[in-house]
Structure formats: C-alpha cells, structure tokens
Amino acid sequence: MGAAFGTGSAGSLFGSSGSANFLSRSTAVAATIFFVTSLSLTYIYAHPPQSQGVMDKIGQSKSVQQASPVPAAVDPVGSKSKEVPR
C-alpha cells in the first residue's frame, strides 16, 4: 500500500520500516485512551442509574399547586390605550 503513495518501500505504509520513536508510541497510547474513554462514556450514557431508595421518589409524589389567576389590568383615567389601532 505504501507504493500507492509514491514511496520506494512497498512493505510499509509511509516509508521504510524502522523502530517506532517516542512520538509514534505516545500517539498510539493517546489514541487507545481516547477510544476506551469514548466507549466508556457511551456505555454510561446508555445505561443511566436506576433509583434505588425511597428518598428518590419523594420529589416525584408531591402535587403541583395551581397558581391563582392574575386580575385584569385596569386602564387609568385619561389613558389613550383605547385609541391605539390593533
């Protein structure tokens, strides 16, 4: 496959095969860590924890009280709001 990129050595992808240096090894380690953390986060997100105790259900059982209706606004005397076209 290396020959497709114009290199002289067809045995490796981008040139002669030699020992890997520190940068290529650290890149492989970083890629492996990234891959493992991505899979872990996907699993954690797909399987959320279930509620286990009684205290988790207390907030769900309270009823919501209805708000009292707001009284209609009264136009002050001398207001020109009735003259504004709608």
Cβ pair 2, 9 in contact under 8 A: yes
pLDDT of residue 35: 98
Coil, helix or strand for 74?
A: coil
Cβ pair 19, 30 in contact under 8 A: no
Higher pLDDT: 31 or 7? It is 31
The verdict on residue 64 lying in a domain is: no
Cβ pair 70, 77 in contact under 8 A: no
Higher pLDDT: 80 or 42? It is 42
Degrees (nearest 5) of the Cα angle 79, 82, 86?
135
The verdict on residue 72 lying in a domain is: no
> Residue 43: which domain range?
21-47
pLDDT of residue 27: 94
Question: Who's near 66: CB < 8 A, 6+ residues apart?
Answer: none
Higher pLDDT: 86 or 5? It is 86
The verdict on residue 3 lying in a domain is: no
The verdict on residue 32 lying in a domain is: yes
pLDDT of residue 50: 77
The verdict on residue 78 lying in a domain is: no
Question: How many domains does the chain fold into?
Answer: 1
